[in-house]
């Protein structure tokens, strides 16, 4: 670096997930912390009050985007691939 020259500042990036995806990631993290294992899709269905196909679609999307990893054929094998400190606070579902 030459004297008097400023280094370019890094560009701040937005989260690599939508608000809804962030809520699923936050839920997976919180559930894992409390229960010692990842949630089943049925757990997410009950919490978010959505249909099983909607939960499964979200899990596939999170996996495809590299935000989670799963072991095929193994139950409760979801692992977060993002740092927990980057997750949004988990919001309570409005009824």
For the beta carbon of residue 78, count every other beta carbon within 10 angstroms: 25
CA distance 55 to 60: 9
Are 28 and 22 spatial neighbours (Cβ–Cβ below 8 Å)?
A: no
pLDDT band at residue 8 under the 50/70/90 scheme: low
Question: What is the tens place of the pLDDT at every residue in 43-92?
Answer: 999 999 999 999 999 999 999 999 999 998 999 999 999 999 999 999 98
CA distance 93 to 36: 23
Q: Has residue 2 got a pLDDT over 60?
A: no
pLDDT band at residue 30 under the 50/70/90 scheme: very high
Are 63 and 71 spatial neighbours (Cβ–Cβ below 8 Å)?
A: no
Q: Give the pLDDT mean for 10-26.
A: 81
Q: Is 76 left (phi over 0), alpha (psi -120 to 50) or beta?
A: left
């Amino acid at each position: 670096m030459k004297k008097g020259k400023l280094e370019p500042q890094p560009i701040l990036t937005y989260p690599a997930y939508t608000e809804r995806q962030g809520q699923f990631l936050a839920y997976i993290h919180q559930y894992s912390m409390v229960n010692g294992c990842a949630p089943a899709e049925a757990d997410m269905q009950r919490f978010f009050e959505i249909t099983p196909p909607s939960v499964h679609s979200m899990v596939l999307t999170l996996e495809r985007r590299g935000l989670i990893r799963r072991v095929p054929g193994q139950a409760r094998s979801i692992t977060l691939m993002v740092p927990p400190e980057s997750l949004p606070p988990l919001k309570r579902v409005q009824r």
